[in-house]
Structure 1
Amino acid sequence: MPATGASPTTNRRSITWRASCSTPSRPMRARTRPHGAVWRQASIRRSTARRVSPPTTAARRSTSLRSVHVANVPRCSPATRDVLFFKPLRRRRSAIAPPRPRTSVLAHFVRGDIAMSMIRYAAFAIALAAPFSLHVPAHAAGLKLEADLGQSVLSTAKPGNVYLRLNLKSLAASNRERRPPINAAIVIDRSGSMQGDRIEAAKEGARVALKRLSSDDTVALISYNHDVEVLSPAAPLRASREKLIEAIDKLEANGTTGLYAGVKEGGKQIEEFVSGNNVNRVILLSDGLANVGPSTPGELAELGRKLASKGISVSTIGLGLEYNEDLMQRLAAASDGNHVFVERPSDLAEIFDREFGDALSVSARDITIIIECRAGFTPKRILGRDGSIDGGKVTLKLNQLQAQNERYVVVELQAPEGRSEGAADVADISVTYVDLDDGGKAARAEAKPSVRFSANAKDIEDGLNKPVMSQVTRQIATENSEQAVELRDKGDIAGARKVLEKNADYIKRSRDLYTAGAAPAPSASVGALTDLENKSREAASSLDGDAWDRTRKLMRQDQHRAKVQQAY
C-alpha cells in the first residue's frame, strides 16, 4: 500500500523516515544536489497505526513520535542520508510493535549528534588555543636557613660560651634548565713574567671560559702590565664572541704589573651591565707582585669591599710561586670571591672551567644576615668572616650562594649566668637576599634559635650538637693555621711547627669525639677534618728553605676555602 501523499503510479519508492534531530519549524526548501536530483519538500505528520487492541501507555508514547514522510525520494547512498541526519524506518506493520526500553535523557544526549558536535567543537577549540598557551614558570626554589647551637642544653651554674651556627642552603637544582645571565670581566696579567707557557695557558683558559657561556652572557676582556688595555669592552656574547676570540689570540706579555688598575677597570666594565638578575664577577689572573699603583693587601681589600657593595665579586687565580698570595687572598675574601693557587700553567684551563662553572651555578646574591641577640646573650666574635658587632647586633654580608651548595657562619656568644631551668630564646635572625631563580626578586628568611638551661649534668652532656661543633672545629683550626703563618713570617720556624702539630692533634681529638655515639657529624664534615689534619701535619714538615714559598701559598688557599666554604 503506497504511503500517504504518494502517487499510486509512481515508479519511485515511497519511504517513511523518522528524523533523528529536532523537527523542522517549517518545510525544507527543495535543493539541487551535485548529481542533479531534486529533493521534494518534506512534510511533517503524526504517525498512526491500526489498532488491534486498545493501546497501552507505552504504545501511545511510541505512536506519538514525529516522523518525516518523503515522497518520490531518489535512490541515494547511506552516507548521503546520514549527512541530512535521517535514518530509514522499517515499514509499519499491522500490529503495534512492542514498546522500546526506556532510556534516560542523559544517555540520549551523550550518544546523540549534539553531544558529538560539542565534542568536536571542544577539540577544535583546544587545538586552536594550544599554540597561544602561556608558560607559567615554576615557583622559585629559594633559600633554606637553619640556626643551631653547638650546645642545646646549657648549665644554670656556669653556662660559659656557646657557638651559634647559621647554615644557608640554596634549594635550586644544580641542573636547572634556566639560569641567571653572567656579567663577567676577565682580567689577565700580561707583564713580562707571563711570557712563554704562562701567557699561552692564560689564553687557553679564556677560550675555555667562553665555551661555557651563552649568547645572553656579557663578557669584557682586560689585560694589564704597567698600563691597562680594554681588549674587548663589556658586551653580550651574541655580538662580541668573535672579537673576544681575536683579542685573546693577540695577547702578548711584556712590561710591569699594575694589578690594582686592572681589577678596577674590570669592575668598571661590569658596572655598566649590572642588573637585578645577573651574576657579576671579575676573574683576575696574575703571576707576579703588584709593583705599579696601590699594591698593599689592605688597599686591594678595600677595592674588593667597594666592588662587593655593588654586587660584584672578585675571584683571584695566582699562577706560579712568585705572586703575592696575601694580596690575592685578601682581595677575594673582601668581595666574597674564590681564590686558587695554580702551580703549573697546564692546570689553568681546568681552573677557568671550574671558576665559570661556579659562576653559572649561583642562585642567590646580595645576602645580608642580621643577628639580634636576646637579653643575656652577648656576641663575642665572628669566626672566619668579616662582619660587624654593635652591642647585641651582628651584621654579615655574603655576595653569593650556589645551587645545591651550603655556606655557614659561626658566631661565638657569651651565655648569661644565673638562669633558672627552662627554655630561653637566643636571638632573632633575619636573612635578606636576591633570589636569582625568581627573576631577581627580594626574598627573606627568618629563624629564632633557642636553648634550654638545666642543672642536670647528663642533659648537658647529651646536648652536644656534633654536626655544628665539627664545623666550629674547622674554623678554629683555620685560625690556628693563620697563627702559624704569622710565626713563620717572623722567622720563628720552631714556634710555627709547634702550632701546626698541636693543631693537627686538636683536629684529631675533635673528629674522634664528634664521630662517636649518637647523632654523629656527617661524613662530609668528618672528611673535611681528616683532610685538614693531614695538611696541618704536612705543613709542619715543610717550613724550611725553598719549600716555604709553596707551603705558604697552599696554606693561604686552604684557609680561604675553609672560611668561605668555596665550592671548588
Structure 2
Amino acid sequence: MPVARGGGKNKQRSLAMYSRRDLIVLFAVVAVLSAWGRNWLSAEAAEATEATRQVALEAAMAYPILLADTKQTTVVKVGLAGFKLDSNQQRAPVNVALVLDKSGSMSGAKIEKAKQAAIDAVRRLGPQDIVSVVTYDSTVSVLVPATRLTDKEPVLAAIRQIGAGGSTALFGGVSKGAEEVRKFLDRERVNRVLLLSDGLANVGPQSPAELGELGASLIKENIAVSTMGLGLDYNEDLMAQLADKSDGNHVFAESSSDLAAFFDAEFDDVLSVVAQEIAIHIKCAEGIRPVRVVNYDAEISGQDVIVKFNQIYSEQEKYLVLEVEVPASPSDAARPVATVSASYTNMVTMATDELSGSVDVRFSAEEAEVAAATNRIVAYNCVAQIANDRNAEAIRLRDQGDVEGARELLRKISTYLRDEAQKLDQKPLADQAERNEWLSDNLDKGDYGRVRKAVIMDQQNRRGNVPSRSDGR
C-alpha cells in the first residue's frame, strides 16, 4: 500500500491512490484506535481519581535500626491520612443532634450567643442532611425531632425561642440527642451529637466515668459526641471523657463570644468526614511483645493489637503510637516487627476499603549508625504523644494536692522534650516544652481552674493528631 507523505496537496494526491476498500479499512482502524485511546485515558483518569479518594496508611518505626545485643522497648507509628474533598457536593450527608444547655446559668448573653451559633451552624447544612435540636435544664425536651432539612426556617424559629432556667440534666440531654440520631442512623451518614454546657451535671448520672461509658457505648453505634464547655464552672473531665470515648472533639470556650468560632470549627469537621468505622489490626511478629498503645484505648491479646477510630476528616492525619519490646539480636541481623491492616468505610465511594503494611528493624553495634537511621518525623510524632500521656499524670498529681510532685514531673517532661527537639531538629517539641514550663509555673495560681480546662482541651485534641488548636495560653 502506498504511503502518504508531505502536506496539503501531496497528501490529497496520495489519498487518491487508495482504493475505496482501503480507505474504509483505514478509517475504521483510525476510529478503533481513537476510541481505544479515549477509553484508556478515561480509565487512567478514573484510576488516578480513585487513588486520590483513598485514605493513606503509614506504618513506620521511629528507629529503624536498633542497637545490637540489647533487649529494648521501642515505638511504632501507625497513621492514617484523610484525602482531600474536592467540593461540598462530594461530602457525606450528616445526621446531627444539637444538645443545648438552657439551665439558669445560661441566661443572658450565654444563651443568646449559643442560639446564634446554632442557627449559623444549621444554615451550613443542606436538604440531604438530618438535624434535631434537644434542650435540657431540670428536664429534657426535644425541640426539633430528627428531620430532613428541606426547610430550615421552622428549625431556626424553634432555636430562637429557647429560654434559660432550671438545673442541668446533662446525661439525659446527651442520651436524648443520641436517641434522635438513631431515628436516621445510617453508616452512609456522619452521625454526631454536639453538646454545649456551662455547668456541672446535677440531675441523673454525673461522674466522668459514667459519661465516659456513655461515649464508649455510642462509638459502637458509629455515633460521635463533641462537647463544648462554656465558662469556668463546667466539669472538663466529664466533657473530655464523653468526647474522648466516642472519638469526638472537646473544646473550652471561656467566653460566650467564642461559641460562633467553635461551632464553625466543629461543623468544618462534621462536613469533611472522609472515612468512618476505622479498624486497625496490628499483628506483632514472633518474639515481639506489644506493651501498650500510648495514646488510644486498645485491645491487646497475645500478638494482636486492635484500635478503632470513629472517623477521619479531610486532610487530617490521625495516628497511634505502639510501644513494643524487641529481644536482643546480633549486629547486621534483621527481623520483622509487625504487619498492619486497616479497613474503613469510604464516605465518598461508600465502599469498604482495605489497606496493609508492615514494619521491620535491623541491628547495628554502631551507635552512630543507629542514630543516623532515625526517622525524625515519626520519632517526633511518637515523642509528642509520650509527653502528652505523661502530662496527664502530672495533672492527676496536681488534683491529688501534690503540687510540687506535679511541677517536678512537668519539668522532667520539658527536659525530655527539649532534648528530643534538639536531637530530631523538631522545633514543635521545644514549643511543647515551653507550654509545659508555663503550666508548671501556673499550678498554684488563682486561675488554675481556667488553666486546667485549657490543658485538658489541649491534651485531648493533641492525642493522635498533628497539633493545630490553641492551648489556651
Aligned to 1:61: none
Residue pair 1:174, 1:404 contacting (<8 A) in 2 also: no
Is 2:72 aligned against 1:160?
yes
Q: Aligned letter for 1:206?
A: A
User: What is the CA distance between 1:567 and its match in structure 2?
Assistant: 6.1
Q: CA deviation at 1:420?
A: 6.2
> What is the alpha-carbon distance in structure 1 between the residues aligned to residue 225 and residue 291 of structure 2?
29
Q: Is the 8 A contact 2:85 2:272 kept in 1?
A: no
- 1:139, distance to aligned residue in structure 2 (A): 2.6
Name the SS for the 2:90 alignment partner.
coil
What are the superposed Cα offsets for residues 127-157 of structure 1, whole Å, 9 maximum, x if unpaired?
xxxxxxxxx8953611111111111112231
**Does structure 1 residue 497 correspond to structure 2 residue 407?**
yes
- Alignment correspondent of 1:560: 460
Q: CA offsets, 1:384-423, max 9 Å, x none?
A: 1111111111111111101111111100000012456322
Q: What code does the residue aligned with 2:351 have?
A: K
Instruction: Answer whether contact 1:212 1:357 (CA < 8 A) is retained.
Output: no
Corresponding residue number in structure 2 for 1:122: none
Whole-angstrom distance in 2 between the partners of 1:196 and 1:174: 41
In 2: Cα distance, 1:356 partner to 1:102 partner: 67
Q: How does 1:306-455 map to 2 (within 5 A)?
A: 306-419=217-330, 421-438=332-349, 440-455=350-365
Q: Is the 8 A contact 2:58 2:79 kept in 1?
A: yes
**Alignment check: 8 A CA contact 2:69 2:331 kept:** no
Amino acid at match of 1:404: E
CA contact (8 A) 1:191 1:253 kept: yes
CA distance in 1 between counterparts of 2:155 and 2:22 reads: 67
Match of 2:204?
293
SS of 1:187 mapped into structure 2: strand
Aligned residue number for residue 379 of structure 2: 469
Residue pair 1:405, 1:567 contacting (<8 A) in 2 also: no
Quick check: 1:488 aligned with 2:378?
no
Note the C-alpha offset of 1:190: 0.6
TM-score, length-scaled by structure 2? 0.87
Aligned pair count reads 435
* Deviation at residue 533 of structure 1 after TM alignment: 2.0
Residue 170 of structure 1: how far off its partner (Å):
1.6
How many angstroms does 1:554 deviate by?
0.8
Q: What residue is the counterpart of 2:61 in the other structure?
A: 149
Which shifted more, 445-454 or 306-315?
445-454
SS, match of residue 235 in structure 1: strand
Q: CA separation in 2, counterparts of 1:466 and 1:288?
A: 43
In structure 2, the partner of 1:541 is: 441
How far apart, CA to CA, are the structure 2 residues paired with 1:232 and 1:176? Answer: 25
Q: Give the unaligned 5+ runs of structure 2.
A: 1-12, 32-45
Contact 1:280 1:313 in 2 (8 A): yes
- The answer as to 2:134 corresponding to 1:222 is yes
Aligned-residue offset at 1:564 = 3.8
Amino acid at match of 1:562: R
Is residue 94–residue 189 contact of structure 2 (8 Å, CA) maintained in 1? yes
Q: Which residue number corresponds to residue 154 of structure 2?
A: 243
CA contact (8 A) 2:413 2:436 kept: yes
When residues 103 and 561 of structure 1 are mapped into structure 2, their CA distance, relative to the original with a 3 A threshold, is closer
Task: Select 1:458's aligned residue among 358, 368, 376.
Answer: 368
Provide the C-alpha distance between the structure 2 equivalents of 1:420 and 1:534, rounded to a whole number of angstroms. 39
Counterpart of 1:544 in structure 2: which amino acid?
A: D
1:471-505 per-position Cα deviation (integer Å, ceiling 9, x unaligned): 11111211222122111111122222222222222
Q: Is the 8 A contact 1:212 1:353 kept in 2?
A: no
SS in 2 for 1:381: strand
Instruction: Tell me if structure 2 keeps the 8 A contact 1:142–1:172.
Output: no
Q: 1:434 to 1:245 in 2, by over 3 A?
A: same
Partner of 1:268: 179
CA displacement at 1:444 relative to structure 2? 0.6
1:102, 1:452 → 2: CA distance? 68
Give runs of aligned pairs for residues 41-190 of structure 1, distance below 5 A: 104=16, 106=18, 138-139=49-50, 141-173=53-85, 175=87, 177-190=89-102
Distance 1:463 1:237, change over 3 A: same
Answer yes or no: is the 8 Å Cα contact 2:82–2:275 preserved in 1. Answer: yes
Q: Deviations over 1:318-357 (max 9, x none)?
A: 0000000000000000001000000010110111011001
For 1:147 and 1:415, locate their aligned partners in 2 and report how far apart those are by CA, in whole Å.
17
Counterpart Cα distance in 1 of 2:287 and 2:141:
56
Query: Could you state the TM-score of these two structures normalised by the residue count of structure 1?
Result: 0.73
SS at match of 1:449: strand
TM superposition shift of 1:103: 6.6
Which secondary structure state, in structure 1, belongs to the residue aligned with residue 240 of structure 2?
Answer: helix
Shift of 1:447: 0.6
Structure 1: stretches of 5+ with no match in the other structure? 1-100, 120-135, 516-520
Task: State yes or no: 1:282 paired with 2:182.
Answer: no
Q: CA deviation at 1:107?
A: 8.4
Query: In the aligned structure 1, how far is the partner of 2:99 from the partner of 2:86?
Result: 27
In 2, are the aligned partners of 1:186 and 1:282 still within 8 Å (CA)?
A: yes
In 2, distance between residues paired with 1:542 and 1:457?
A: 40
Distance 1:531 1:176, change over 3 A: farther
1:506 deviates by 1.9
Q: State the structure with more CA Rg.
A: 1
For each residue in 1:513-558, what CA deviation from the matched residue of structure 2 results, as whole angstroms up to 9, or x when unmatched?
Answer: 101xxxxx5xxxx33x243222212211212243110011011011
Q: What is the CA–CA distance in structure 1 between the aligned matches of 2:459 and 2:209, rounded to whole Å?
A: 18
Higher helix share: 2
Q: Is the partner of 2:217 in helix, strand or coil?
A: helix
Q: Which amino acid aligns with 2:234?
A: Y
Distance in 2, matches of 1:159 and 1:509, equals: 23
Residues 110, 195 of structure 1: alpha-carbon distance in 2 compared, 3 angstrom cutoff: farther
Give 1:360's aligned amino acid.
Answer: L
| Post-superposition CA distance 1:222-241 (Å, at most 9, x none) | 001111100001111114x1
